[in-house]
Amino acid sequence: MRRRARLATALGVIGAGALAVSSCTASDVLTPRVDVGTQTSSVGPQPRGLARLASPSAMMSVGYPRLQRPFAEPGAQMPASETDCRRQLRRLGVTFRDLAPINDGGACRIDWPVQVSGLPGSIEMKPAATLSCDMALAFATWTRKELTPSARWRYLSGVKTIHQGSSYSCRNIRRSGGVASEHSKGNALDVMRIELRNGRDIDVRKPGWFAFRERGLLNNVRAGGCQYFTTVLGPGYDADHADHFHFDIKNRRNGYVACR
């Protein structure tokens, strides 16, 4: 009787263990029960040139849920990244001043805006452009390394004035279904014409067939812009950009650069 009781007990233990194993599948072991949230951020771009340094704070959120940034309150301490950006502007010889935070609702905001009135080489910006510091730095570097050398090569002249048509502007991209323009973040600038020191005034609109030097200059600065910005659009792209160059540092996934 004792042997039968021990055997029954042993069989009961084995049966219970088998039942436990059968109810615990591989998916139960490997799949976490905790809800870690849905990833909402996109992979930040890996653009070439200076644009790789633009918006470093955006790069910090790669792979994690994007949190709403608190708006910079008046009197708040400037982040180190913004301080460093301004240091680089001064090193380049950019004339600028800090503006109060801009918040026009929705995506229309710049926490630490600057107003740029002069660029490297004593080039005037008319009218003064309201931009994020990252965009100001990208544009100033492009001006120094691409536009100025191209003007000297093609026309044996320096650049006197860059005439811009739009910097910060609270608006959506036309025909986009409500997508905010990079202008609404201070991350875009439209260039209408370029005035040289020799008196030549270069309209950005598509030049005629026999305007070889003008065509060469515009082609050079347009292609060179792709090293500093994530978007370069101009005449020939569409009707909305027929009379100006559009430059911006839009944050795109997978390093995509729109250079057209």
pLDDT tens column, 215-260: 888 888 888 898 999 999 988 776 777 788 999 999 888 778 888 7
pLDDT, tens only, 137-194: 999 999 999 999 999 999 999 999 999 999 999 998 876 677 899 999 999 999 999 9
- Of the pLDDT bands very low, low, confident and very high (cuts 50, 70, 90), residue 72 is low
CA distance 22 to 18: 6
> What is the predicted pLDDT for the residue at 173?
83
- The answer, as to whether pTM is greater than 0.75, is no
Neighbours of 226 (CB within 10 A): 21
Strand positions, DSSP E, 135-255: 159-166, 188-196, 201-203, 231-233, 245-248
CA distance 198 to 156: 8
Helix (H) or strand (E) holding 84, with range, is helix 80-92
CA distance 183 to 173: 9
